[in-house]
Amino acid sequence: MSSRLEGKKALVTGAAQGLGSAIATELAAEGARVLLTDLNEAGATAVANQINREFGASRAFAIRHDVTNQADWRRAIEAARSELGGLSVLVNNAGIVITGSVEDLDMDEWRRGMSVNVDSVYLGCKAALPLMRENQPASIVNLSSIAGLVASHNFANYNASKAAVWLLTKSIALHCARNGWDIRCNSIHPAFIRTPILNDLAKSGEDVVELHAKLARQVPLGRLGEPSDVAHAVTYLASDESRFMTAAELKLDGGISGM
Ligand SMILES: NC(=O)c1ccc[n+]([C@@H]2O[C@H](COP(=O)([O-])OP(=O)(O)OC[C@H]3O[C@@H](n4cnc5c(N)ncnc54)[C@H](O)[C@@H]3O)[C@@H](O)[C@H]2O)c1
């Protein structure tokens, strides 16, 4: 265990599995105290318990939290204040993939994707900034995607929602800088990281091993990313090592966007 995040107080959304779980665990390993939130409360609690077993009691806490709900955000920020003693790192990680072309998607699907992927970042930053101002230097990390920078015919909603996260991140960063607050805000843009979300890309009946191999063939490095690849990047952005980095996008795509 090292201490690049000693004294940091972090909230990670969507932390019951996948990237959120890996991110929360690495932030704790680097010395942060962490509040894990998810719709799946049992899953988030299991990850928090594992962190506490590994890194010491009261290192991690978990609550149920729907990131599309403003009242839930108020409760989550209050939990950060009471359980962590403040908030200096916010990781807006929760997100969903809805596949389909512009003609495939109905209005409910469109709204659901925009709500989980974009409203969540707006609501989260709006709710968190007052407490983060009391805990400077602070850092917000938003999970966009390589799909927020490069489009596909059947990703209309995912492309639009993750592109919105990309520029919303910059607007938040400039708002903080203009006000003289040491609160940075950056986005991360992964491609094909080995988590359950990839299963949403499988055609019906397609085997997961086959799907992973097919996706890996699209990556110049020839392999999928691992959750730890993203967690390392979040640790850097959460830490004061990245103190001159704000309004930036960090691509973790094995070279896809370089083609
Ligand atoms: N895995 C990848 O290849 C990849 C690539 C690019 C971007 N991303 C982004 O990274 C983030 C995490 O993805 P992942 O791969 O870990 O996905 P995942 O499906 O494994 O995990 C997502 C988590 O978010 C939670 N969640 C969903 N809706 C929620 C809501 N309304 N409120 C609270 N929690 C909610 C789920 O319960 C789940 O625990 C997402 O924003 C995703 O778009 C992932």
CA distances from 251 to 34, 60, 74 (A): 25, 28, 31
This prediction has a pTM of: 0.99
> Residue 74 is inside which H or E element, if any?
helix 70-79
Contact assessment for residue 32 and residue 89, using Cβ atoms and an 8 Å cutoff: yes
Q: What is the pLDDT of residues 199-246, one digit of tens each?
A: 888 887 889 999 999 999 999 999 999 999 999 999 999 999 999 999
Q: 228-243 in b/e burial notation, b at 16+ Cβ within 10 A?
A: ebbbebbbbbbbeebe
- Nearest protein CA to atom 7 of ligand 1, as residue: 145
Q: Considering 55, 73, 155, 158, which one is annotated as catalytic?
A: 158
Q: Which atom of ligand 1 lies closest to the CA of 68? A: 31
DSSP, collapsed to helix, strand or coil, labels residue 154 as: coil
Q: What is the pLDDT of residues 116-153, one digit of tens each?
A: 999 999 999 999 999 999 999 999 999 999 999 999 99
Contact assessment for residue 94 and residue 13, using Cβ atoms and an 8 Å cutoff: yes
Active site residue 122: no
The whole-number pLDDT of residue 1 equals 61
The whole-number pLDDT of residue 258 equals 96
What mean pLDDT comes out for the span 57-83? Answer: 98
Contact assessment for residue 185 and residue 171, using Cβ atoms and an 8 Å cutoff: no
- Nearest protein CA to atom 18 of ligand 1, as residue: 197
Q: Which among 92, 166, 194, 197 is the best mutation to test ligand 1's pocket, defined by most ligand atoms within 8 Å of the CB? A: 197
Mean pLDDT of the chain: 97
- Nearest protein CA to atom 32 of ligand 1, as residue: 66
Residue 93 Cα to ligand 1 middle (Å): 6
Domains annotated for the chain, with CATH where assigned, are 9-195+226-254 (3.40.50.720)
Residue 259 Cα to ligand 1 middle (Å): 26
Residue 178 Cα to ligand 1 middle (Å): 31
Residue 18 Cα to ligand 1 middle (Å): 7
Residues near ligand 1 with C-beta < 6 Å?
13-14, 16-20, 38-40, 65-68, 93-96, 116, 143, 145, 190-193, 195-198
